[in-house]
Amino acid sequence: MRKVLTIHGVGFLGGQGPWQEAVAKVIQPHFSLSPHKYSYYRWAGLFSAVFEPWVFVPCMVAVIFYLRRADRLIFWMSVVAVLIASSIVARVRRRAAIHGFESKHFKTPYQLNPHVIAHSMGTQLAGSVLKKFPTVSYSHVILAGCVLPRDYPWCKMVDHGRVDKVRNEVGANDPVPLIALGANQVGLLPGFGSAGRHGFVDSSGCIHSTEPDTACPDCSDGNSARIHTVLCPFEHSGAMTAQYAALYWLPWLWAIEPAEYSKWLQMCLAADAWYTAYKAKQHDSEANLQIAEEELLYTTWGWAKGPTPGQEKGATLEQYITRLLQQHQRKKQGPVTAMVLLETYRGFARACRAHHEPGAGWEREILSLNPGVAVIRAVEFALR
């Protein structure tokens, strides 16, 4: 099972990435989750990334207490000295965080490169480790509240096989990347920038822009990109919720377009609702169930693509079921296909309920949130 590394940002008054626990409930059943936590930045927020509090606070208190009546020049020179010293120690602390992350997660090679979900300061940590250590590689990378510079070489990383895909959640109302950029420009936070507010710079066409609920229009034209700027209306931590992770990040980690997954979800739940109505003998339910099932069966899905000629970029659910049945050497497919279809959308609906209300056996049931898993399970059920 592929590992997903989650990396939180700076904390305030003891906070240490509470979003990691919320996202874990979504990601954990489908991937091996490894949350990375560090105690360096738990109390003073972004300030602790700029100035080391354990140097700044006691030294500044000492300066104010002992030198408040001294010559003004001496007083302000002492203040500047405290700022410089605490800034230098903060840089040493950031280097220690970088080496700590690499040492914890990359000393032993992975069979499968891990996915990464990073927020705020965590994006800087993930990006710095990737640049500093040539042996480190990621699969899919999700960045939120990103404080990396806009010219970070993601295109180069993709071209060299160091990263498979990148999804940068850009917050239109996120002030933190702007603060990080300002601190960089005055020399306080070297290596920081505003990519979480303005996106990454692209001069080669390797980065496309889209919105959370929209399939990338440029990729739809056949010019597929592996790096995407996702334009979002929220602030710094707006994406760090279980609901957002379930709708957008989970399918993306499965290599399914979130917009397509949303369509799949709506069709399956609609078919399941009409099936329930049909079993209750409600008026017009049979006709509506047939419409819902045919729509689900004959829509082309990118995740169902395969080596069959004409299906390299996508296949209908009927074509996908047929391929699976052929692998089981099943020649008569008509009645079986109908049974597989029924169990597919009903299994997916059960997985949705298990996600919202975990009960007995929910960890196995919830795996059918992945469309491919739902269909494979339905085929196995139909061929018993």
The model's pLDDT over 248-270, given as tens digits with 9 standing for 90+, comes to 999 999 999 999 999 999 999 99
In a shared domain, residues 53 and 186:
yes
CATH number of the domain enclosing 136? 3.40.50
Domain end, chosen from 235, 255, 275, is at 255
Q: What pLDDT is attached to residue 30? A: 92
Examine the pLDDT at 102 and tell me if it is beyond 90: no
For 18, 197, 283, 376, the CA distances from 242, given in Å and listed in that order, are 11, 22, 37, 26
Average pLDDT score, the chain: 86
Q: Which residue has the higher pLDDT, 329 or 188?
A: 188
Structural domains counted in the chain = 2
Structure tokens at 363: 């960890």
In a shared domain, residues 177 and 302:
no
Q: What pLDDT is attached to residue 305? A: 92
In a shared domain, residues 236 and 286:
no
Q: Give percent of the chain above pLDDT 90.
A: 48
In a shared domain, residues 10 and 123:
yes
Residue 165 half-sphere exposure toward CB, CA atoms < 13 A: 17
Residues 93, 171: Cα–Cα separation, whole Å: 28
Q: What pLDDT is attached to residue 13? A: 45
Residues 99, 38: Cα–Cα separation, whole Å: 12
Range of the domain at 66: 3-255
Which residues is 168 bridged to in the sheet?
Answer: 143, 229
Residues 90, 56: Cα–Cα separation, whole Å: 10
Examine the pLDDT at 332 and tell me if it is beyond 60: no
Which region among 2-11, 73-82, 153-162, 373-382 has the lowest average model confidence (pLDDT)?
A: 73-82
Structure tokens at 293: 């099932």
In a shared domain, residues 251 and 284:
no
In a shared domain, residues 168 and 210:
yes
Alpha helices in the chain, H assignment, sequence order? 19-27, 47-50, 53-67, 72-105, 121-132, 154-159, 176-185, 195-198, 217-220, 242-244, 250-253, 258-279, 285-298, 317-327, 334-356, 362-365, 371-382
Q: Which residue has the higher pLDDT, 334 or 191?
A: 191
